[in-house]
Amino acid sequence: MKLNELRDNPGATKKPKRVGRGPGSGTGKMGGRGIKGQKSRSGVAIKGYEGGQMPLYQRLPKRGFNKPNRREYAVVNLGLIQKFIDAGKIDAGQDITEDALIASGLVRRKRDGIRVLSKGEYTSKANIAVTGASKGAIEAVEKAGGKLTLTAPAAAAE
């Protein structure tokens, strides 16, 4: 077998339909679009239009609910806190507060408080004071010899 002998299996590829190439092609003149009407013109956008009937996406009921005054926490993982402590951006000797996390650049803004999750390795013996924390995060901090205290959430959300 040589490179110039390579070819597809018979019937594997099909030539594209060339529209509007004369009456002998079978798709000449109107190019398979029929006579007049919106669909025969260029620049048509019909999509979900059903001829004036209420479209399907509007007939189906809405589902779910978004609580307008829900609390939104800035989320931080313990592994990231440990990484910032190792890098010297957070001082483990002092209490790690929400303001300290923002000052270090780990959290951009406080929102309704900061919530700590247990993802990642945490080994520092440090006291952390935040608005919220998962059970796993509290256990991990206490296992490392520190203490995780929860403060009252911001009152602005209520």
What order do you get walking across the sheet with 114-117 strand by strand? 74-77, 114-117, 132-133
Predicted confidence band at 151 (pLDDT cuts at 50, 70, 90)? confident
Residues 6+ apart with CB under 8 A from 56: 48, 50
- 46 pLDDT exceeds 80? no
Mean pLDDT, residues 122-149 taken together: 89
Q: Calculate the average pLDDT of the chain.
A: 88
Predicted pLDDT of residue 158: 42
Q: Which two tokens stand for residue 50?
A: 């059903």
Q: What is the mean pLDDT of residues 5-28?
A: 92
Q: How far is CA 76 from the centre of its chain?
A: 17
pLDDT reading at 155 higher than 90: no
Return the SS3 of 74: strand
